[in-house]
Amino acid sequence: MPLDPTLFGEIDPPQRLLMGPGPVNAHPRVLRAMSADLLGQFDPEMTGYMNQVMALYRPIFGTANRWTMLIDGTARAAIEASLVSLVAPGDRVLVVNFGRFGLLLTEILSRIGAVIETVDAPWGETVPMEAIAAAIERTAPKLVACVHGDTSTTMAQPLDGLGDLCRAAGALSYVDATATIGGMEIAADRWGVDIVTGGLQKCLGGPSGSAPITISDAAAEHIFARRHTEAGIRMAGLEDGAGPRIGSNYFDLAMIMDYWSEKRLNHHTEATSMLYAARECARIVLGEGLDARYARHAAAGRAMTAGLRAMGLTVFGADATRMTNVTGVHIPHGVDGEAIRRMMREAFEIEIGTAFGPLAGQIWRIGAMGYNAMRHKVLLTLGALEACLLREGFALPPGKAVAAAMEAWG
């Protein structure tokens, strides 16, 4: 029997308000941009859009790097492209580890065959710069890899000074800024770090599936010297480089940079609709202004925190280093965290996040990112959470949370 396609209706998802740690609802302008007509990948209009994307993402990354572009895939694609292109088997890499996404870096590095060293902080804290300095001294790594905002713990690692430490030790540096780009300041050049990567589905307010990346000249030089194969070198029409080859074709940053260069050497087919989305995300970010946007995310985080505390709940993690755009909160004793999440979804169409690893069942993670870092969405979420907690029999002072959040928004 052939499958009757009318069994499945047209896509018509429920209108959920996504207030978890990402993904979030995309800005309607981004969804509209994605429905624009397609172009051939070497069409001058298309390569013109690619150049515009490079220009648009430089200020968002806080960089003048020539190599500022997109990796096709979710944020993890850019993480993997960076690590597989920078690191050869046997290279020593220091991972600054303070949550689940630090563990992801070690997982990818172990597949590459790197010698992995870590400098760790307990979940809910960040790693002091002096501890990173001491670990660099102790391990003499070729690369230092770090997460900026780790949504698993809601902590943001301070990064000022990291680049100087790395350069003084002859190491390159990599930062995963997926959860913070477009919501907290990314200062690739001031931090002095070599590669920073992101994703659209958090504070940039787009769908997942495109990963912005910026690459310093020093990192690009290192990567070009490790071109993948003889054939790759011939295709690029270049001299043979030294050293071991990049162990991936799809994630070979040398080939992807050639594709984004004036040479336009064919690699993959650029994901056209995702490029439209990434371009519109960046136009929205820069149209709002970076400072205004960071201030809006900070206000949302302040309001969320004040509202949760006014309900008598305990916010998770060190206040000084908490991310502004996602807030962890302890599930109160005797409350079924999953029952509350279900009630939030079924009664209010609001999604909040659960947690992983050591924090599973301990905290909820409530985000306010990108298009959802808005006052009314924060207030709706707090009002809904209060109603659900009261219904579950948790004793809290009614009516305080929303008022405290309105006050804290400023």
- Which parts are annotated binding residues for substrate? 365
* Numbered residues of the known binding site: 365
Nearer to ligand PLP, 105 or 220 (CB): 105
Q: Which of 94, 119, 147, 246 binds ligand PLP (CB under 6 A)?
A: 147
Asked if residues 376 and 296 have their Cβ atoms less than 8 Å apart, the reply is: no
Q: How far is the CB of 138 from ligand PLP (least distance, A)?
A: 25
Nearer to ligand PLP, 22 or 337 (CB): 22
Q: How far is the CB of 199 from ligand PLP (least distance, A)?
A: 4
Give the ranges where 113-240 is alpha helix by DSSP (H).
Answer: 129-139, 162-168, 188-191, 217-224, 230-236
Q: How far is the CB of 36 from ligand PLP (least distance, A)?
A: 23
| Alpha carbon distance 392, 378 (integer Å) | 21
Q: Single out the segment in contact with ligand PLP by CB under 6 A; choices: 108-116, 135-143, 175-183, 270-278.
A: 175-183
Q: Is 176 in the site for ligand PLP (CB under 6 A)?
A: yes
User: Tokens 């910026």 correspond to what residue?
Assistant: 214
Q: Which of 99, 179, 165, 100 is nearest to 130 (CA)?
A: 165
Q: Which of 82, 157, 173, 178 binds ligand PLP (CB under 6 A)?
A: 178
Q: Which of 72, 150, 270, 386 binds ligand PLP (CB under 6 A)?
A: 150
Q: Is 98 in the site for ligand PLP (CB under 6 A)?
A: no
Q: How far is the CB of 110 from ligand PLP (least distance, A)?
A: 17
Residues 197-226 that bind ligand PLP (CB under 6 A): 199, 208
Quick note: the x/- pattern for ligand PLP over 38-77, rule CB under 6 A, is ------------------------------------xxx-
User: Tokens 């509350």 correspond to what residue?
Assistant: 340
Read off the amino acid at residue 290: L
Q: Is 151 in the site for ligand PLP (CB under 6 A)?
A: yes
- Note every long-range contact of 218-223, with CB atoms under 8 Å and residues 24 or more positions apart, other chains counting: 218/172, 218/194, 219/86, 219/172, 219/194, 219/195, 220/66, 220/67, 220/253, 220/257, 222/86, 222/172, 223/85, 223/86, 223/253, 223/254, 223/257
Tell me the torsion sign for CA atoms 307, 313, 318, 324: negative
Identify the three-state secondary structure at position 96: strand
Nearer to ligand PLP, 46 or 318 (CB): 318
Residues 3-22 that bind ligand PLP (CB under 6 A): 22
Q: How far is the CB of 106 from ligand PLP (least distance, A)?
A: 13
| Alpha carbon distance 305, 8 (integer Å) | 42
Nearer to ligand PLP, 56 or 179 (CB): 179
Q: Which of 187, 214, 185 is nearest to 198 (CA)?
A: 214
Q: Single out the segment in contact with ligand PLP by CB under 6 A; choices: 34-42, 43-51, 172-180, 303-311.
A: 172-180
Nearer to ligand PLP, 241 or 370 (CB): 370
Q: Is 84 in the site for ligand PLP (CB under 6 A)?
A: no
Nearer to ligand PLP, 93 or 236 (CB): 93
Radius of gyration of the chain (CA): 22
8-state DSSP, 184: B
From the centroid of its chain, how far is CA 395? 36
Which two structure tokens, joined as six digits, stand for 302?
């302040």
Nearer to ligand PLP, 176 or 280 (CB): 176
Neighbours of 7 (CB within 10 A): 6
Neighbours of 363 (CB within 10 A): 24
Residues 117-146 that bind ligand PLP (CB under 6 A): none
Number of residues that bind ligand PLP (CB under 6 A): 13
By the criterion CB under 6 A, which residues form the site for ligand PLP?
22, 74-76, 101, 147, 150-151, 176, 178-179, 199, 208
